[in-house]
Chain A
């Protein structure tokens, strides 16, 4: 039986990963600043952030929903958690080795913010980072398909996936929105380049770490 303490910790991980994605310039807040400045309206900051959020949410769903369906299909939850963990580790290693930026992102029209945000999240494995956390929240009980009706189980896991994606995206949008607003209203664009740190390696290592955590959780039976 999973204890409530570790579930709470996992929900905090969902929120923190959102904050982490939000302040990373690679996930789009500079786009919100630039579209607000190009339009010359404060309102555009909000609409740009909403579009970025929509794209990010979609990318999270696109990754989490297939996993929630799989929870109902696999017999042993540990296999799923371990293979998901390996997948996330592999994505991290791939990003560590292949340091070239995905060129196709630069070809998206600057006004298509939701599409850009979706593609950026997919290309950087942002959704994958949530998978081990999500599977941890679903817990051994709900993942052990033998005891419950498969349909009820699946519905519960889909609802959890949606909640995880929504909570994560809200945290991401608030964090990115705060940075964008501070730069737009007070600090000015000089701070754009001074606050932009190269997170490539940290990001890739985060994926590896989350993946390893997922595998460990499965093996330790948490």
Chain B
């Protein structure tokens, strides 16, 4: 039993930034063809350790074909919420869903070097208790662990809309569906919230037939992927407003609210604008009348390219789209990092004024056409994708795979998994660390990264930064 709150729980984002830095990272190991079992790699991030920058332990699961993608903690700083009374939970377990198998593993990482599977929830249990499939994003909040799903019921996941379900944060029992009234929401991807202000925001990718076997070009060009964001009354579990970003803004993915709960704004990344191949970031906010608004505040242009250098999918466009596939916001709400997976760039924007972001740093690495090498001279497969920022905001880690079948369409000649790190200047700026480069074991790709003690896309804070 815990006598005091877990030392990795912080009342405010500022306190989390001042806390001791991360010693370990946890990164998805994905076998794209299902020939090996997926796993979680434990990476040594203590720069004084002799094994710094190496994979020091692997938790390989017994099944094959799970397709790990996103994952998260059983408990975070939201446990200090004065309402929920869960201050004595431990940040100890990673909830790791397989988006192809719908199986969920609970991995005990109390001792990262001895990390092991604590519990497995079989797909049948998820289907029976929620009617959802393909679990994805994890956040710990009021009443337990919230998990978003990318599919509804039935074989192909189109029997009913996907949504969010809740799990008990101690027993990991699945409790049931979250939604009381989902309104027009019929697709799902990411979600996050502001706990004291009691709202949630969710986004849309597409239904399972639109992504499991690769991107469907006809659906994309006819704007059939998700292009709306939904605002929810968090505790009443009702969709209170839906904003259509415009049907050509295809695939509204990551939702990043400001970490300071006093602020009522955040960001959402849009993969591609089908009218001009631009990538985009929308800023969403609540206006003085309490109505939610959204405005496009960043656009990233495609790069012209010779069709001979492009994969089949893009030849007709003679250009490579930026493909904004992940974004992440530093804990001080100052820098927004934007992964441009197609052109092979990581951008850093100063979003101190969320309505007027300013580009302050950029790193080129990989890319469909540019294929920029790492400063250490080695290749980087695909482009910068899942990005995670250290709590203190000084180090930015990222990996390279988007999603097994999509990697193969956009990068038919690439293979492999890499994790790299860039250092942030005192007033912005971004520079790759020449010595930090992890090549994943043969046959594995990499995806989401979680940092020991929390990072910039896990913890929800219940008290304003002062």
Which residues of A come within 8 Å of B, CB atoms? 25-26, 28, 30-31, 33-34, 37-38, 40, 100-103, 105-111, 116, 120, 188-190, 192-194, 196-198, 200-201
Contacts and interface: CB of A to CB of B under 8 A. Distances in A.
B5 A193 contact: yes
Contacts of A201: 1
Given A110-B196, A110-B198, A188-B466, A31 B83 contact: yes
Interface stretch (B7-15, B200-208, B403-411): B7-15
Contact of B80 (A103, A109, A192): A192
B11 A193 contact: yes
Contact of B196 (A38, A102, A190): A38
Given A38-B261, A193-B9, A106 B143 contact: yes
B210 interface: no
Contacts of A37: 262, 463-464, 466
23 contacts: A25-B82, A25-B87, A30-B82, A37-B466, A38-B196, A38-B261, A38-B262, A40-B262, A101-B85, A101-B86, A105-B85, A106-B81, A106-B86, A107-B142, A107-B235, A110-B197, A189-B11, A189-B466, A190-B15, A193-B9, A193-B11, A198-B1, A198-B4
Interface residues of B, number: 35
Interface majority SS (helix, strand, loop, mixed), chain A: helix
Interface of B: 1-5, 7, 9-12, 15, 80-88, 142-144, 170, 195-198, 235, 261-262, 462-464, 466
B83 A106 contact: yes
A102 B466 CA distance: 31
Contact of A34 (B82, B86, B87, B142): B82
Interface majority SS (helix, strand, loop, mixed), chain B: loop
A33 B261 CA distance: 14
Contacts of A188: 466
Q: Which of A105, A109, A196 has the most CB of B within 10 A?
A: A196
B85 A26 contact: yes
Contact of B84 (A100, A106, A190, A198): A106
Nearest to A110: B196
A196 B87 contact: yes
B4 A197 contact: yes
Given A106-B143, A110-B195, A190 B4 contact: no
A17 B12 CA distance: 31
Contacts of B9: 193
B80 A193 contact: yes
A183 B80 CA distance: 15
